[in-house]
Amino acid sequence: MRVGWSTIGPMTEFALKEWGVTCEALGAGDQVLVVRKGGIGEKRFDLPHPRFFLMPTYLHQRPELVKPEFHARYAASLDHREEPAHLPLALYAELRSSYALRDDEALAAIDAEHTLTPDYAAERLKWRRKHPLWAAVLRVWRLDSPPVLDVQPEHGGCVSWIALPDGIVAGARTPVLDDDAFAAADARIRDALAPFPAGVV
């Protein structure tokens, strides 16, 4: 299924733009967590959508910002540089919990839960310091028949969220992790952040 751009309607789906390597790791079940502070084109990052597609992006992704142990596993994604003209949207996510991180210790407590290097994650925390770094726990599904987005200028730029054209919907899907595996990962993150004042949001 391939559709183009249309105006926002009552059934509009949204997509969260995320590094291709992060999408790969989410889709493989290697992580359930993303850490975000928004793009250059945004004043701040919010999590307004309970469910959304994941849209891989490659513009600012660089191998040196990803932990070395993931380089071989995700080499194809890390080697990718150009944004595709036609993009399959293979992953769908549900926001299960989010945490507003404000200090280095809280960030260090979840270092094992994502693919970013500690130094780069710390840079994200320090950028626009008055705003928190959001750690969002996502339940992710792989779509049986991914819709294909014809990428338009409206979908570009350093922003987090895009509205998808009418006709792009999430159909039949399979969870990346089973209920027990996801619950264990969710609890591990919750327990790691329990000592810090960030708290769950």
Q: What tens digit of pLDDT does each residue of 34-62 get?
A: 999 865 555 667 899 999 999 999 888 99
Can you give the CATH number for the domain in which 124 is found?
2.30.130.30
Residue 7 domain-assigned (yes or no): no
Residue entry with tokens 């959001």? 134
- Which range marks the domain in which residue 83 is found? 12-193
DSSP secondary structure letter of residue 185: H
The answer to whether residue 158 scores a pLDDT higher than 80 is: no
The model's pTM: 0.88
Rg (CA), the chain: 16
Q: What is the pLDDT of residue 10?
A: 45
Burial of 116 (0-12, 13-18, 19+ CB in 10 A): buried
Identify residue 11 by its one-letter amino acid code: M
* pLDDT-derived band at 11, boundaries 50, 70, 90: low
User: How far is residue 149's CA from residue 81's CA, in Å, rounded to a whole number?
Assistant: 18
Mind listing the pLDDT tens digit for each residue in 65-116?
999 999 999 999 998 878 888 999 999 999 999 999 999 999 999 999 999 9
Residue 179 domain-assigned (yes or no): yes
Residue 26 domain-assigned (yes or no): yes
Q: What is the pLDDT of residue 146?
A: 96
Residue 200 domain-assigned (yes or no): no
Total of domains in the chain: 1
Residue 2 domain-assigned (yes or no): no
Residue 171 domain-assigned (yes or no): yes
